[in-house]
Structure 1
Amino acid sequence: MECVKTDKNYDAVSKKEYVGYFAYGFGQCFSYGIVGSFILFFYTDILKISVAAASAIFLIARVWDAVNDPMVAGFMDTRRTKSGKFKGYMKFAPLLIIISTVLCFVSPDVSTGGKVIYAGITYILWGTVYTISDIPFWSLSAVISDNPQERTSLVTAANLGVFAGIGIVGSVLPPLVVLLGRGVASKGYLLGVAAIMLVGYAFMMFGYSTIKERVEPTQAEKVTKEDVINTLKTNKHLFKMLGVFSLNLFMNIVNGMVIYFFTYNMNNAELMSIFGFVGTASALGFFGIPMLTKKFKKKHILMTIVSVDIVVRVGLYMLGYSNVGVLMIMLGITQFLHAAAGPLMSTMIAETIEYSEARTGKRCEAIIFSGQTFTGKLAAALSGALSGVILTMIGYNANATVQSAQTLNGLFLAISIVPIVGSVLRLIILSTYKYTEDEYKKDLQILESRRTV
């Protein structure tokens, strides 16, 4: 499905659209942040299901996603809504996200086995619904504009919303649980999640109302199964970038384990709120990305960020956590670096659309971005499963007032040193990545020459 501008002098992306694109990602990621940061704790300490059962739920859900996400993407690539290729899905998806997220935090009065079944069904439902929203959200960056600099700015705005949304729920939900639960944690989680998601719905619908698709297909040509396979077989750069993106799982481990760390190591669960605000503020790191990409290649910027992250984490471990102020500053720096890497990875993934289109003649935006959606959820699931393994290995005792020294040391290692593994793996993959700005511009020229014939 080759795409062209409907008008060579099409209007530039407005500031309101940038704000709207930010707003949709911001509201949507209230859901991702809540589930990613609190669902394991909710399962183990509120529902009282085992770590092993929770880990099994996460992994089963991702097996389903491996089938579901490409199916959803294929459907979107072969059909068009009244509002555009992708925008129409974003009209009803927000309501589905609210319902599925709230259902994940219901504490049914049933047996432990029944709770495991309920948790599995609602978590898989959430992942399915999230796909319906996330794939068109990211795919829109390829049809709002085909201008490389505008696209980088759009992806930056989207990532700003994503990281800000994930960060802010970490600070807002804990006090809401206390305020609304009035001593009953299960009630607090349900009401707190519901309240946050209603606000998220408003942001998402505002975003939907502002976005305009400009890049249109030349004809209603269906993308066949063979086209999808050829796109994926050809696009070797996509898989490398998805590998880099999937390593977010190590930061997801931090986000999932830090509530245990604050509760037991620091004896102050309220620090989670400060951590959430730090995560939100770290999204400010996005603003420098468009400027940097004008002077340096995205690959080199990303490798620099990853290298600095390794150094900072070693420093964090050596300094320890006796000084709360120093601890929060160091955690803030790691959050800032993680946030800055986000738009770089998303833009590099988006650029592989033109790579495959130049070689196959098929654009397949949804298929490309379904990879990002799937690896994002895979990272969340694997981080949940690995967090469960870590908790078991370090002897975590759910609901115990005091944890052993082994457990406390293990929790600190999990939030400081374990993510270094992901950074090292990213450096290895990026050192072999060859699709830089030079190659991308050549493919844009190829596509432009085809459109003018």
Structure 2
Amino acid sequence: MEKPTPSLTTEKVPMQEYLAYFAYGFGQCFSFGIVGSFILIFYTDIVGISSLVASVIFLIARLWDAIFDPIVSAFIDKHRSSTGKFRKYMKFAPIFVIVSTIACFVAPDVDMTGKILYAGATYILWGTCYAFSDIPFWSLSTVISASGQARTNLLTTANLGVFGGIGAVGFIFPLMLTYFKQHSAPTSSYLISVAILMVVGFVLMEIGYRYTKERVISDPAEKITTRDIVEAVKANKYMFIILIIFFLKIFMEMVNNIIIYFFTYNLANAGLMSIFGLIGTASALGFFLIPVLTKKYKKIQLLRCLLVADILIRIVFFLTGYRNVVLVFVFLAITQCLYSATGPLVSAMLAETVEYSEVKTGKRFEAIVFGGQTFASKLAIAAAGALTGVLLSVLGYQANATQSSTTLTGLFIIISILPALGSLLRLLMLSKYDYTETEFKECQRIIAARKQGHQA
């Protein structure tokens, strides 16, 4: 019998599939947003764990991820079938993501050592479960369609769901906490709020699983070894550049960690966090311009323009100060829009490196590429959490107390000017990147020629 030939279909992706793909990312990032933005303050102000101990927990978790995430990626790339590679994981992973997220916000009635051990165990469990969901989710974009423009559209949709989900959590979660704190203890208010949001997230992820389809099918008879994977990683130099650029989101993750402290102590109104969450959700609407712009301009050109604009706006933000609350939110809205718009561009650039690796090695490894993105993302969150904990200690932060002027100034510096450093570093990394749409299309041409030769 003739071996099945891998598909390079460019079949049009229906709108309902875009909506389903959006729904999965939106629901999944309820978990990401809750853990990314609220776990540190839950540890310090609710459980009573010091910020330095929390930093150690984050770092240990990422050391574990450094070992485990590549194993997950390699496992997914090795185990292919005639029906696809990724959706089968999206079928069961949401259950574990929901349970592990809820577990992170349980405050056990034990001594401090027990609380620290429980916090560490559940946080590491969350990262492990999340890998089985996030890696297949992003990798799916490369097999729904082989079209470069369709892939950009899909990754824009995915990023719209991601930023929208995180922003929605930032808006809704503080409101839920305020409501439930009126009727229950602070620990219970966190647990109830998380549980409700994660049930909704599960429903959205289930929709994403049911109504997406894999069209680019790899040959299930093709044998993939660990050596093949190692060679593919070594050959994909552009993947490493993009992953470093992706990791540099650490500066914005620090803003996400600090912003609630800024609203609580600098602006004396923790309720403003909901407005910031709404801004995060609204900023994702600009994603609809990305597919239009990428038809006229190269992604690297658009990314450079966004980064330069972010640096300039943040300098003005810092010089303006935070006395005028309206101006603060104007600057937050502008910088959030600029940062959000980089997401689809970076993800699309990363996805295109799959073909570069395939040309170099002759084999396709989507999960390895997007496993790198998942790891870089979690590493950025953990490092941001660890650095935030250290900075809070250095700045003299005292939980539930009046903060000194030094602490308040430090909090403002972090949310205003620090991310400009991240944008500058990203620009420096882009100076080494010369793999554009032109090279990507050439890689696709080479792969198509190889497939035709194989079929003949």
TM range (shorter): over 0.9
Matched with 1:343 is: 344
Q: Where do 1:248-263 residues align within 5 Å?
A: 248-263=249-264
Q: Distance in 2 between matches of 1:93 and 1:404?
A: 45
The offset of 1:217, in angstroms, is 1.3
Change (3 A) 1:2 1:74: farther
Residue identity in the other structure for 1:5 = S
Matched with 1:391 is: 392
1:4 equivalent in alignment to 2:24: no
Matched with 1:122 is: 122
Classify the secondary structure of the residue corresponding to 2:442: helix
1:299 equivalent in alignment to 2:312: no
Q: Distance in 1 between matches of 2:382 and 2:5?
A: 35
Matched with 2:146 is: 146
What is the CA deviation profile of residues 113-151 of structure 1, one whole-angstrom value per residue up to 9, with x for unaligned ones?
111100000000000000000000001011111110100
1:84 equivalent in alignment to 2:88: no
What is the CA deviation profile of residues 410-434 of structure 1, one whole-angstrom value per residue up to 9, with x for unaligned ones?
0000101111111110010001111
Residue identity in the other structure for 2:7 = K
Residue identity in the other structure for 2:71 = M
Matched with 1:438 is: 438
The offset of 1:441, in angstroms, is 1.2
What is the CA deviation profile of residues 179-220 of structure 1, one whole-angstrom value per residue up to 9, with x for unaligned ones?
123252111110000011111111100111110000011342
1:315 equivalent in alignment to 2:322: no
Q: Distance in 2 between matches of 1:81 and 1:444?
A: 23
The offset of 1:439, in angstroms, is 1.0
1:2·1:363 contact (CA, 8 Å) conserved in 2? no
Q: Distance in 1 between matches of 2:368 and 2:145?
A: 18
Residue identity in the other structure for 1:314 = I
Q: Distance in 2 between matches of 1:26 and 1:417?
A: 29
The offset of 1:321, in angstroms, is 1.3
1:81·1:88 contact (CA, 8 Å) conserved in 2? no
After superposing the two structures, state which structure 1 stretch, 218-227 or 249-258, moved more. 218-227
2:25·2:165 contact (CA, 8 Å) conserved in 1? yes
Residue identity in the other structure for 2:424 = V
After superposing the two structures, state which structure 1 stretch, 134-143 or 321-330, moved more. 321-330
Classify the secondary structure of the residue corresponding to 2:132: helix
The offset of 1:322, in angstroms, is 1.3
Classify the secondary structure of the residue corresponding to 1:5: coil
1:2·1:362 contact (CA, 8 Å) conserved in 2? no
After superposing the two structures, state which structure 1 stretch, 378-387 or 174-183, moved more. 174-183
Q: Distance in 2 between matches of 1:326 and 1:379?
A: 28
Matched with 2:379 is: 378
Change (3 A) 1:3 1:271: farther
What is the CA deviation profile of residues 51-104 of structure 1, one whole-angstrom value per residue up to 9, with x for unaligned ones?
111000000000000110011111111113685310011111111111000000
Q: Where do 1:237-276 residues align within 5 Å?
A: 237-276=238-277
Q: Distance in 2 between matches of 1:171 and 1:3?
A: 48
The offset of 1:153, in angstroms, is 0.3
After superposing the two structures, state which structure 1 stretch, 388-397 or 261-270, moved more. 388-397
Residue identity in the other structure for 1:331 = L
The offset of 1:323, in angstroms, is 1.3
Q: Distance in 1 between matches of 2:424 and 2:91?
A: 40
State the 4+ residue runs in structure 1 displaced beyond 4 angstroms: none
The offset of 1:310, in angstroms, is 0.5
Change (3 A) 1:64 1:414: same
Matched with 1:368 is: 369
* TM-score between both structures, scaled by the size of structure 2: 0.97
2:80·2:218 contact (CA, 8 Å) conserved in 1? no
Structure 2 residues without counterparts, runs of 5 or longer: none
Q: Where do 1:36-115 residues align within 5 Å?
A: 36-80=36-80, 84-115=84-115
Q: Where do 1:92-241 residues align within 5 Å?
A: 92-182=92-182, 184-241=185-242
Please report the RMSD computed on the Cα atoms of aligned residues, expressed in angstroms: 1.4
Classify the secondary structure of the residue corresponding to 1:452: helix
What is the CA deviation profile of residues 271-320 of structure 1, one whole-angstrom value per residue up to 9, with x for unaligned ones?
00000000000001211111111111111110110110011111111111
Residue identity in the other structure for 1:19 = L
Q: Distance in 1 between matches of 2:186 and 2:45?
A: 9
Structure 1 vs Structure 2: percent identity of aligned residues?
A: 55
Q: Distance in 2 between matches of 1:120 and 1:2?
A: 46
Classify the secondary structure of the residue corresponding to 2:6: strand
1:3·1:215 contact (CA, 8 Å) conserved in 2? no
